[in-house]
Structures are given as structure tokens and as C-alpha cells.
């Protein structure tokens, strides 16, 4: 009897813990989920350098250049007006995990001319979706096989999948926009030392869209903070909330459609 009671008590506690963890995760923005998944990563030597938390580069020389504005990085359009992007989802994902990834990939078909499709052996450029350490992607098409990492621990949410795919499609973080100083004030005095580069400005592909606090590419107010003080504040009203997106915003979609002339 005692054993039975103990067992039910443990079961109840486990259920409560699971639903708490679930609801906590449900409330986190994409930016918070990414920060949590990418903190304290132990990365292996064969994984790329990460900048701005989740953008992969292969050499230091890429640090200050946006490949998309300097040499072009978009994926080609087929004669039917669609942009087909081949992908392969690694087998180390469970079927539940694969379905989260597939839902993220397929969401693009509902609002743009982007069509992610399973890769074939004849494909030259393709995305290899793998669970490496953390959530990360290169910016734009690189040529050949290109990894998008969605770690099984922490990256498998609809919004984080969309965020990493937007990088692969050519987009940077909202706070690195060249016009960001008109919309957010960066407080470098609150940024962890060595992380200042995350707040550089680059020539981004804004596509005529206005700065969007609700972009899935906008980091939250406390990103890379060393002292729990904000690292970014909106202008002019510092109390306006931002960086809370859980999925792509209307502006993210508009920008994508403009870049790819959908
Ligand atoms: Zn990112």
C-alpha cells in the first residue's frame, strides 16, 4: 500500500513537472529559446564558428561581411516561379521531431513561393538538417551541402525552425540592420565582455520593410546581458515590448516575398 502511494505520488509529481516545463517553454519567445539552447555549448572542432549566437561562418574573414549583400546568396527560382530548396532530415531525429521540422519547412509554402522539398542525389545545393550542438545556420545559400543544426535538446519548436531557415534563405538578425539606431538603442555597457560583436551593424537585406520589433529575427531586450540590465531598448519609448515573436511576423513574410520576388 505504501509502495502504491509512493508510486502515485511520484507519478503526480512527474506529471506536474512535465506540464510546468511544457507551459514554461510555450511562453518563451524564439529569441529566448535560442539563447537557452545555445548557452554553455560544448562544440567540437569540426563545427563552424558561431557569431551572433546562432549564425555559422567558416572563417574569421566572414565575420564582418554579409555574404548576401556582397556576392548574392539567394536560392534559384525554377521556371514555374517557385524556389525549390532541397533538404535532408537526418535519421537521428525521432518521428515526432521530424514532424516539427517538416511543419516548419512546409509553413513557407503557405505564405511564399519557397518550396522546401526532399533532396535527390542529383541536387547540387541542399540543406542537411542535423542535430549538432545548438541551433544554428549559415546565412544564405553556400553551395553544396549546407548544415542547419537543430539540436534535439532545445531547438525543436516551430519558431526556432523558421528562424534558422530564414538565415539559410539569406536573412540576418533584426538588430544588426543598418538602420537599427533609429529604432533601438544598444547599451554596450550591459553586454557581456567579448559579446559586443553581436551588436554590429551590417548591410542587411531589408527589402524596403520597416524595422520590426516583432520579427522572429529580433533578439530580446536582455540578449547577451552581463548584469540582467537590458542590452537593447526601443526608441523612443523604452517600455515598448520587442523580441517576443514566437513565429514569423507579417514583415518577415513580406521581406521574404520581396527578396525572392514571389
Ligand atoms: Zn539567428
Q: Is 220 annotated as a binding residue?
A: no
64, 172 contact by CB (below 8 A): no
Catalytic status, residue 32: no
Whose grid coordinates read 539552447?
A: 37
For residue 9, how far is its CA from the centre of ligand 1 (angstroms)? 41
For residue 162, how far is its CA from the centre of ligand 1 (angstroms)? 10
Q: 10 Å Cβ neighbour count for 51?
A: 18
Q: Is 197 annotated as a binding residue?
A: no
For residue 191, how far is its CA from the centre of ligand 1 (angstroms)? 18
Task: Provide the residue-wise pLDDT of the chain in tens; the chain has 262 residues.
Answer: 455 545 555 555 555 554 445 555 668 999 999 999 998 888 888 889 898 889 999 888 777 666 676 677 899 999 999 999 999 999 999 999 999 999 999 999 999 999 999 999 999 999 999 999 999 999 999 999 999 999 999 999 999 999 999 999 999 999 999 899 999 999 999 999 988 988 988 877 777 889 999 999 999 999 999 999 999 999 999 999 999 999 999 999 999 999 999 9
Catalytic residue among 35, 52, 62, 164: 164
For residue 243, how far is its CA from the centre of ligand 1 (angstroms)? 12
Q: What is the pLDDT of residue 18?
A: 47
Residue 135, classed as helix, strand or coil, is: strand
Q: Is 183 annotated as a binding residue?
A: no
Q: What is the pLDDT of residue 189?
A: 97
- Is residue 146 within a helix (H) or strand (E), and if so which, with residue range? strand 145-150
Amino acid at each position: 500500500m505504501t509502495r502504491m502511494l509512493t508510486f502515485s505520488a511520484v507519478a503526480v509529481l512527474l506529471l506536474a513537472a512535465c506540464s510546468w516545463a511544457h507551459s514554461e517553454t510555450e511562453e518563451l519567445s524564439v529569441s529566448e529559446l535560442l539563447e537557452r539552447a545555445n548557452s554553455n555549448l560544448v562544440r567540437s572542432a569540426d563545427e563552424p564558428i558561431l557569431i551572433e549566437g546562432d549564425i555559422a561562418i567558416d572563417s574569421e574573414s566572414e565575420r564582418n561581411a554579409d555574404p548576401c549583400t556582397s556576392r548574392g546568396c539567394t536560392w534559384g527560382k525554377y521556371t514555374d516561379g517557385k524556389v525549390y530548396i532541397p533538404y535532408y532530415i537526418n535519421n537521428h531525429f525521432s518521428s515526432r521531431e521530424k514532424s516539427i521540422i517538416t511543419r516548419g519547412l512546409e509553413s513557407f509554402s503557405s505564405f511564399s513561393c519557397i518550396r522546401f522539398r526532399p533532396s535527390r542525389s542529383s541536387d547540387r545545393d541542399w540543406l542537411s538538417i542535423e542535430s549538432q550542438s545548438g541551433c544554428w545556420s549559415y546565412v544564405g545559400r553556400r553551395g553544396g551541402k549546407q548544415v542547419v543544426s537543430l539540436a534535439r535538446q532545445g531547438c525543436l519548436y516551430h519558431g526556432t525552425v523558421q528562424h534558422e531557415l530564414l538565415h539559410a534563405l539569406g536573412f540576418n538578425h533584426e538588430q544588426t540592420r543598418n538602420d537599427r539606431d533609429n529604432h533601438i538603442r544598444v547599451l554596450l555597457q550591459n553586454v557581456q565582455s567579448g559579446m559586443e560583436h553581436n551588436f554590429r551593424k551590417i548591410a542587411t537585406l531589408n527589402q524596403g520593410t520597416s524595422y520590426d520589433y516583432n520579427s522572429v529575427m529580433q533578439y530580446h531586450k536582455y540578449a547577451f546581458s552581463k548584469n540582467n540590465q537590458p542590452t537593447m531598448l526601443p526608441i523612443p519609448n523604452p517600455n515598448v515590448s520587442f523580441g517576443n515573436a514566437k513565429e514569423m511576423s507579417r514583415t518577415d513574410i513580406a521581406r521574404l516575398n520581396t527578396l525572392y520576388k514571389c
